[in-house]
Homo-oligomer: A and B are copies of this chain.
Amino acid sequence: MIRSWSIWISSWGSGTAAVYCARPQHPEAVSPPAPAEERRFSDVDITTLAGRLPGGTVVTDPDILAGYRQDRALDPAAGTPAALVRPVTTEQVSTVVGWAHSNRVPLIPRGAGTGLSGGATAQDGALVVSTERMREITVDQVTRTAITQPGLLNAEVKRAAAEHGLWYPPDPSSFEICSIGGNAATNAGGLCCVKYGVTTDYILGMQVVLADGTAVRLGGPRLKDSAGLSLTKLFVGSEGTLGIITELTLRLLPAQPQQSTVVATFPTLTAATTAIDAVTARLRPSMLEFMDAVAINAVEDEMRMGLDRTAAAMLIARSDAPGEYRTLEAGLIAAACDGATEVFRTEDPEEGEAFCAARRFAIPAVERKGTLLLEDVGVPLPRLGDLVTGVADIAERHQVLISVIAHAGDGNTHPLIVHDPADPDETARAQQAFGAIMDLAVSLGGTITGEHGVGRLKKAWLPAQLGPEAMDLTHRIKQALDPHGILNPGALL
C-alpha cells in the first residue's frame, strides 16, 4: 500500500496506511436502502454524455476503471463504476452532473484518492468524477489569497504560495499526495492545526456544482463577508454529498518562520498529558505531537536513534514564533515538561527535523508488526489520558496490538490497530476494536473523526456522536440540496 518509504519519510506521520480487509460494521448498523429513484446504469447511454464533452474526458476502459474503485480505505464493498469522467473546467463538471441528474445516475466525486474513510468508494453503475485534471492556480500576494482548481495536490498549493512568499498552512500527513479539493471535502487537518486551525479556516470562497448541474459561486477573496448564509462553510467537509467543488478561494499567510524543536520523554502517561495541558493552557506551539511506548519502541527498532525505550510517552513540540521569541517560547515549552525524564531542545533546523522524522516514521515502523487499521478519533484535551488508557483496555480486551500516536495539541489521535489480514479471527477482533475506539471517543465527549471524514467506513457511528436531532438536520439539508440522492450516495448518510 505504501508507494515508497521516501514518501513516508517525506510525508508526515499518519494517513496513508489504512488497509481495511472488511468494512467495519457497527453492531446496530442497517444498510441504507438505495435511493428510490436510482436507475441502473445499463438503462442509460453513456455516449449521450461523452458526446457533450471533449474526447478523452469519459473513460470506460475496465483496466483504468479498476484503479478508481477505491480510495486508500480499500473498502471491500466497492463496486465497479460504469465510467470515469475527468473534466477540466467547471462547465464540464456542470455538464456531467446535469446529465447524471437527468438520468438519475449516481456520482462518486473523487480527488486524489487518498481518503481513509471510503469517501470515494465506487458503486456499480456509478460515474466516478475525478478532479485530477483540474489543476490551475493563481496566487494574489496583496490579498494573500489563491484561487485554485480542486485537483492540485496540497503540496503543490503550498509551493505555488511559497513562490510569492506566502504559506498555505493546513498540512495533512498525506500532503504530498492528497488534493486540495479532497482536503476541502473532508475539512482536513494536519500537524499545524494546534496553532493554525483546519482547512475550513482557510477557505474564503468556492465554486461548486450542485446536484442538478447548476454552478454556484460562493464567497470570494474577502476576509470579512457577512452577506447571506455561510454557504461556503457548509460545503467544506460535506464529503461530496452536497455538490462538487470546482474552484476554491484560499486565504494564505506570510511564509512560516523557522522553527525551534523540543523533545521530551516521560516516565508515565500522566506526566505526558500533564505537560500537554500545561503547554496548551498558556502557549501556542506550532506542533505538539505524541507517541506512546509502542510507537517509541517500534521507531527505535528501526532507526536506532537512542530513544528511551523505557519511556511511557514522548512529545515533540515546535515553536515558530517570530524572531528571538521563538527561543523563549521553546524554553517555556521545555519548562512545561517538568515531569519529563529528559528534555532536549534544538534551534538547528536539521536536528529538529531528525526528531520530527522519528514521529513521521512511527506509522511505517508500527506497520512492520502487521497491517494497520488507522483510527482518527479526537477528544477534548483533558480527556486525552482517558482515551489513551481506554485504548489500552480495548487492545487487551480484543487481544490486538494498538499503538497510539496523536496530534496531541488538538486532542486528535491516530490509534494504529495491528492485525494480520490472513487471520480472519484477528481481523475480526481488529474491526471490533476499531468500532470500540469510536464508541470510547464519543463517550468521552469526542469525535469519531478529527480530520479524515466519515465516508462509508464510519457512518454507522455518526448517529451516536451527532444525536438524532443533528442527524435529522443533516438529512433535511441533504434532501433540500440533493433530492434525488445522486451525489456520493452511501457516504456520510
Show the binding face of A for B, using Cβ within 8 Å: 140-145, 165, 186-189, 193-194, 197-198, 200-201, 210, 214-218, 220-231, 233-234, 236-238, 241-242, 253-254, 277, 280-284, 321-325, 328-329, 376, 378-382, 407, 410-412, 445-454, 458, 462, 465-467, 469-470, 472-474, 476-477, 479-481, 492
Contact = CB atoms under 8 A, between A and B. Distances in A.
Given A200-B230, A227-B449, A321-B325, 13 more contacts: A142-B277, A143-B382, A186-B226, A187-B230, A197-B223, A210-B473, A226-B449, A229-B492, A254-B282, A322-B322, A322-B328, A323-B324, A476-B481
A361 to B, nearest CB: 23
Nearest to A165: B282
A95 to B, nearest CB: 16
Contacts of A329: 322
Number of copies: 2
A228 B323 contact: no
Given A277-B142, A379-B222, A454-B227, A284 B253 contact: yes
Contacts of A236: 230, 233
10 contacts: A144-B280, A221-B445, A225-B450, A226-B449, A227-B447, A227-B454, A228-B492, A230-B238, A321-B322, A477-B481
Given A143-B381, A470-B231, A473-B231, A187 B226 contact: yes
A163 to B, nearest CB: 13
A350 to B, nearest CB: 23
Contact of A142 (B165, B241, B324, B382): B382
B321 A452 contact: no
B201 A197 contact: yes
A214 B473 CA distance: 10
Nearest to A230: B237
B452 A218 contact: no
Contacts of A187: 226, 230
Contact of A283 (B142, B254, B277, B328): B254
Nearest to A189: B224
Smallest CB-CB A-B distances: 6 pairs: A323-B325, A233-B233, A480-B480, A224-B450, A223-B410, A322-B325
A142 B280 contact: yes
